[in-house]
Amino acid sequence: MEEKVLLGEPRTVVGKQVRALRRIGIIPAVIYGHGIDPLTISLNYKEANTILSGISSSQLLVVEIEGKKHITLVRQKQRDPVTSILLHVDFQEVSMTELLRATVGIELVGESPAAKNYGAIIVTGLEKLEIECLPGDLPERIVLDIAVLKEIGDAVYVRDLPIPSKVEVFDDGDELVVIATAPISEAELAEGEPVMVEPEVIERGKKEEEEF
């Protein structure tokens, strides 16, 4: 996998003064981690926004400061709620020799014969996994081909997922990931039964104390 590198510089400006940095295209950020003092840094807005837009929370990113490479995970990207402009970034530095706990997404690919041949509705359950492994073994995502859903009622559970051998999963093996269900009839639609929707949970990192 190609190493992604983001260049940064040490930052002494903190608090309300960071607003002046943003006006000249500089984004404040912080690198923290177990056993290290937090490192306040600044990033070029254009470069950071481009690179970070394609980085997931389970993908390693090298942040280079004055020639020193910090292997990190992006823990939080703070954006303006109105303009979506990037305001601040939290990075967690990791050790390549220490186990790391992370959240990885489950990506569904392919086509289900149950949907194609019988009109089944593909319903997803779990969309993310809590895992632990060494940083070098961290998958960006878990890919599941839904071609295994051949008949109505076929389902995939956590225990069925293609998990790399060096990755430990903490989710219950009996938790549903995806299922092919029977199509809803017009009569059932007319009954208007309420549909339960799970709220989205967004992982947040360590927030640097500053005012925006």
- Give tens-digit pLDDT for 72-123: 999 999 999 999 899 999 999 999 999 999 999 999 999 999 999 999 999 9
In angstroms, rounded to a whole number, what is the distance separating the alpha carbons of residues 95 and 159?
A: 29
- pLDDT for the residue numbered 144: 98
**Cα→Cα distances 111→45, 65, 73, 78, 171, Å:** 39, 45, 32, 36, 26
- According to DSSP, residue 133 is labeled E
Q: Which residue has the tokens 């878990």?
A: 142
Q: What tokens were used for 130?
A: 């809590």
pTM confidence score: 0.75
The residues, any chain, with a CB within 8 Å of residue 113's CB and separated by 6 or more, are 147, 149, 150, 151
- Give tens-digit pLDDT for 146-189: 999 999 999 999 999 999 999 999 999 999 999 999 987 655 55
Cβ(164)–Cβ(139) below 8 Å:
yes
The residues, any chain, with a CB within 8 Å of residue 155's CB and separated by 6 or more, are 149, 176, 177, 178, 179, 180
Query: Minimum mean pLDDT among 19-23, 43-47, 66-70, 102-106: which range?
Result: 19-23
The residues, any chain, with a CB within 8 Å of residue 167's CB and separated by 6 or more, are 131, 132, 133, 137, 138, 139
Provide the pLDDT confidence category of residue 17 given band limits of 50, 70 and 90.
confident
In angstroms, rounded to a whole number, what is the distance separating the alpha carbons of residues 163 and 5?
A: 27
Cβ(122)–Cβ(146) below 8 Å:
yes
Helix (H), strand (E) at residue 40: strand 36-44
Cβ(122)–Cβ(149) below 8 Å:
yes
Fold of 100-187: RNA Polymerase Alpha Subunit; Chain A, domain 2 (2.170.120)
Delimit the domains of the chain by residue range: 5-93, 100-187
Please determine, looking at this structure, whether the domain spanning 5-93 carries the CATH number 3.90.1300.10.
no
Sign, CA dihedral 144-148-153-155, equals: negative
Provide the pLDDT confidence category of residue 126 given band limits of 50, 70 and 90.
very high
- pLDDT for the residue numbered 211: 45
205 pLDDT more than 70: no
Q: What tokens were used for 92?
A: 């967690």
